[in-house]
Amino acid sequence: MEGRRISLSNLDKVLYPETGFTKGEVLHYYATVAEPLLAQIHDRAVSFLRYPDGPDGQLFFTKNPPPGAPDWVTTTPVPRSEDPSAEQVVVADMATLMWSANLVVEFHIHQWPAGSPAVADRMVLDLDPGAPATVAECSAVALWLRERLAADGLDAYAKTSGSKGLHLAVPLEPTPSSQVSAYAKQLAQEAERALPDLVVHRMAKALRPGKVFVDHSQNAAAKTTAAAYTLRARARPTVSAPVSWTEVEACRTPADLVFLADDIGPRLDRDGDLFAPLADPAQGRPLPRARP
């Protein structure tokens, strides 16, 4: 692959028993979506949620480069309080993508690019429904947030989380993560005031049944979010899939916004990369400062 020799293993191993989806099919999926996925992650420190025995096996989150990483895999410094010299993998090319995929991973990224720790070029709002609320309620909240963001001159793009909810992503001019976090918290609080029967901005589980938790915390510099196009470690090979606002507006049931690996190729052929603006620095807009 691109002049690199990569050993791929256990291709017939079933990773998703509910559908029979194998490790070979996981690798084929990532090869199929490499162009838009790499556009989202190629210049970012990547964390891996590994699930080598499928979603019912052991899951473990790793930030450090995995043992045995080839010497051609690029890394970038990501200092942490417990390890000032820490580094993380940067998935910069197809070879690194396929090496990573062979480890069986979800791809998670910061909101800031490599080399600019704590200077974000995007904001993320994670809309997480508390049962019996579903992604349909998340869609209603997403539409309100889209209009609210537009009032501040910001464009929002939606994707499924690959689990129960939605993610909204906003391209920004480079902005300190602390400012992005403050603004995102302000938005979540405004949403709760405007939609008190539908939204909660605090994480406390007691507050969440039947409501949508607008999680603003993932804008903190240390936090990561599942990348667009990553597979998720769920019962089926669901994908964190970019969706159009027409699809969000039309959502009435959870099934309306569930996309599996086999759905993504045809969606890309039909719609292109709906998250392409997030990878274009020219699309970044200035962030209003959070009000006191």
**Range 251-254 contact pairs with CB under 8 angstroms and sequence separation of 24 or more:** 251/135, 251/136, 251/139, 252/136, 253/134, 253/136, 254/134, 254/135, 254/136, 254/164
pLDDT at 2: 87
pLDDT tens-digit series, residues 63-98: 999 988 999 999 999 988 888 889 999 999 999 999
Give the CA radius of gyration of the chain: 19
Which residues partner with 231 through β-bridges? Answer: 239
| Angle between the N-to-C axes of helices 135-151 and 177-194, in degrees from 0 to 180, rounded to the nearest 10 | 120
pLDDT at 50 over 90: yes
pLDDT at 259: 98
Query: CB-side exposure of 206: number of CA atoms within 13 Å?
Result: 0
pLDDT at 292 over 60: no
Q: Model pTM?
A: 0.95
- Mean pLDDT for 18-40 is 97
Say how far apart CA 291 and CA 268 lie, in whole Å: 39
Q: What is the mean pLDDT of the chain?
A: 95
Do 75 and 88 form a contact (C-beta atoms < 8 A)? yes
pLDDT at 290: 54
Do 41 and 101 form a contact (C-beta atoms < 8 A)? no
pLDDT tens-digit series, residues 101-120: 999 999 999 999 999 999 99
pLDDT tens-digit series, residues 168-186: 999 999 999 999 999 999 9
With residues binned 3-state (H G I as helix, E B as strand, rest as coil), the percentages for the chain, rounded to 5, are 35, 25, 45
Do 237 and 26 form a contact (C-beta atoms < 8 A)? yes
Closest CA to 171 of 39, 63, 268, 270: 39
Say how far apart CA 243 and CA 183 lie, in whole Å: 24
pLDDT at 82: 84
